């Protein structure tokens, strides 16, 4: 009997690899979120010009959008980066910030002074955090799935809600 129980609880290298992948996805999503907050807190400010980098690569009948942000640092260095912000948020920013649509291509950029290639677009009402929360959700979901499909998750998840029925409010 003991032999059967120990073989059921034994974890394979595949299980450890799955959990490691889930943890890695979650840690990366947390790192991007923390980096975005750090850029808002200690990042230098600049005004960047948003343009579409996918002009000639579109198939007929479709609209392609690959945002490209160009800005100049305080030291005069020209920097180009591709923001990870959903293009949907760029459309709402002028409306929410009260800017006219003639100024549509100009956005505030936050960057690290020592590494200006690490930058992000700052939108009105922190709209860019919508992407960050989605990334955290995806990282959490991947971690949960890898846990469930590995042998670590073979035990049932039990929610004990009996204390809610007793009338404790």
Q: Which two tokens stand for residue 66?
A: 């690959």
pLDDT tier for residue 131 given thresholds of 50, 70 and 90 = confident
Rounded CA separation 21/18 (Å): 5
pLDDT in the model for residue 94? 73
Report pTM. Answer: 0.71
pLDDT tier for residue 125 given thresholds of 50, 70 and 90 = confident
* Closest by CA position to 68, among listed 55, 97, 124, 126: 55
Q: Which two tokens stand for residue 3?
A: 């032999």
The larger pLDDT score, comparing residue 169 to residue 26, is at 26
pLDDT in the model for residue 18? 86
Q: Which residues contact 130 (CB under 8 A, 6 or more apart)?
A: 86, 89
Q: Which of 30-39, 49-58, 61-70, 110-119 has the lowest mean pLDDT?
A: 49-58
Mean pLDDT score of the chain, rounded to an integer?
82
pLDDT in the model for residue 105? 72
What burial letters (b/e) apply to 63-80, b meaning 16+ CB within 10 Å?
A: eeeebebebeeeeeeebe
Q: CA 54 from chain center: how many Å?
A: 22
Percent pLDDT > 70 in the chain is 82
In the chain, what are the domain boundaries?
26-57+64-154
Q: CA 153 from chain center: how many Å?
A: 26
Percent pLDDT > 90 in the chain is 35
Q: For residue range 12-22, list pLDDT tens digits in order.
A: 888 888 889 99
Q: For residue range 41-97, list pLDDT tens digits in order.
A: 999 999 999 887 776 666 766 767 778 899 999 999 999 998 888 777 777 777 777
């Amino acid at each position: 009997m003991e032999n059967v129980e120990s073989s059921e609880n034994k974890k394979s290298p595949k299980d450890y690899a799955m959990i490691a992948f889930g943890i890695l996805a979650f840690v990366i999503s947390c790192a991007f979120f923390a980096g975005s907050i750090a850029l808002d807190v200690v990042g230098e400010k600049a005004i960047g010009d948003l343009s579409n980098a996918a002009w000639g690569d579109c198939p007929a009948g479709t609209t392609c959008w690959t945002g490209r942000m160009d800005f100049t640092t305080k030291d005069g260095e020209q920097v180009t980066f591709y923001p990870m912000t959903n293009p949907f948020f760029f459309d709402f920013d002028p409306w929410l910030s009260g800017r006219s649509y003639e100024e549509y291509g100009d956005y505030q950029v936050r960057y690290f002074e020592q590494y200006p290639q690490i930058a992000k677009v700052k939108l009105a009402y922190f709209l860019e955090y919508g992407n960050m929360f989605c990334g955290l959700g995806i990282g959490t979901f991947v971690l949960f799935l890898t846990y469930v499909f590995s042998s670590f998750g073979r035990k049932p998840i039990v929610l004990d809600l009996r204390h809610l029925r007793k009338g404790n409010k």
